[in-house]
Amino acid sequence: MTREVWDYIFFKTAPLPKTDIPKENLQKLRREFEFWYPVDVRVSGKDLVPNHLSYYLYNHVA
| Model confidence pLDDT, tens digit, residues 5-54 | 999 999 999 999 999 999 999 999 999 999 988 877 777 788 888 888 88
pLDDT of residue 59: 85
- Residue 58 pLDDT level (bands cut at 50, 70, 90): confident
Q: Can you list the alpha helix ranges (DSSP code H) found in the chain?
A: 3-10, 23-36, 49-61
Q: Where are the chain's structural domains?
A: 3-61
The answer, yes or no, to whether residue 3 has pLDDT greater than 70, is yes
How close are the terminal C-alpha atoms of the chain, in Å? 19
pLDDT of residue 62: 65
Select the more confidently predicted residue: 58 or 20.
20
